[in-house]
A = this chain, B = another copy of it.
């Protein structure tokens, strides 16, 4: 399992793993892939700096990358307090009522609550880029498409390639025109923010549109060697996996209180996700739980636009996480959740991807 992407990024396997957990990211890099650490959880750039220093010590000298969330156009910004004024009372009431109906307790007084939304802001994302570029990162990916051209140039000045997600071929073309070096083609089946075109159709379209200029990674629906082989058959130079790492042992090393979330994911089938605007205001695929069902009821308000929706539900997410009830989880995950049937070490996942890939190629040989 070796493509041109491996030489480009200095990795052994064309497997890029996006994760908010530094323990998972480091394990992916040590196993021969490229661990990409999601930065959106870091509201404080100094905290990101400390975690990247930890990465520098714990990847065994293997390359790693970071993932930011930065729109190419700068949206209206403000402090958390300014934005909060734009949230209608009807929405606040619905969230409170729903948490009560779902028996989600308030947070204990001494909880160190995450503020939410800040990591999605342009100013914060720029500070993430600046901090990350002081570390020996090998990739900066932007989960919202192209970063602004000046940020791309800033990365290139440090010799760091830039990846951007795309759900349509025309978006991929725009990214590459902006200077993006690697396109991640993300299909409908993916977790988190995702478009409507499924990977089987999207991936060859993106490859035909930009594949002679940049490598294309397949995101969405990947969790086995067969699926890696399918992605490469469709023209991808590698795969971008996000959901699958949520059910790894290393994930708990970073997010110690996530047992209920992992139990929910392991129990879920591929039909147990929903694409909805309730997480951030943009369509994103989440695990289907009593929380998402409440938002699908006839009396639920329309989700607010980005970034207000995330601000609205941020405190609720903290309460839900603390409640540790697998039936009331709020978690982005793709349809591949149906294959996440146990919690395993990262290295086991990657070993199975490699062996499954080789078995698939042997099987295809017999069709000639």
Counting CB contacts under 8 A, is A367 at the interface?
Answer: yes
| Contact yes or no, B198 A271, CB < 8 A | no
Rounded to whole Å, the gap between the CB of A193 and the closest CB of chain B is 16
Residue of B nearest to A204 (CB): B226
Residues from chain B with Cβ under 8 Å of A198 in the complex: 187-189, 198-200, 220-221, 335
This chain's copy number in the assembly: 2
| Contact yes or no, A197 B201, CB < 8 A | no
Rounded to whole Å, the gap between the CB of A332 and the closest CB of chain B is 16
Contact with B along A182-221 (1 / 0, CB 8 A): 0000011100000011111110110000000000000011
| Contact yes or no, B1 A367, CB < 8 A | yes
| Contact yes or no, B199 A200, CB < 8 A | yes
- Cβ contact of A232, chosen from B189, B335, B364, cutoff 8 A: B364
The A118-169 residues at the B interface (CB cut-off 8 A) are 168-169
- Complex Cα–Cα for A169 and B336 (A): 13
Residues from chain B with Cβ under 8 Å of A227 in the complex: 200, 204, 234
Residues from chain B with Cβ under 8 Å of A226 in the complex: 204, 233-235
- Complex Cα–Cα for A197 and B358 (A): 26
| Contact yes or no, A229 B233, CB < 8 A | yes
Residues from chain B with Cβ under 8 Å of A336 in the complex: 201
Residues from chain B with Cβ under 8 Å of A339 in the complex: 201, 204-205
Which of A1, A226, A231, A235 has the most chain B CB atoms closer than 10 A to its own CB? Answer: A226
Contact with B along A338-361 (1 / 0, CB 8 A): 110000000000000000001011
Which residues of A are interface residues toward B (Cβ below 8 A)?
Answer: 1-3, 168-169, 187-189, 196-202, 204-205, 220-222, 224, 226-227, 229-235, 270-271, 334-336, 338-339, 358, 360-361, 363-365, 367-368
Could you show 18 A-B contacts with beta carbons less than 8 Å apart?
A: A1-B368, A3-B367, A168-B270, A188-B198, A196-B271, A197-B270, A198-B221, A200-B221, A201-B336, A204-B339, A205-B338, A226-B234, A227-B234, A230-B231, A232-B364, A233-B364, A361-B364, A361-B368
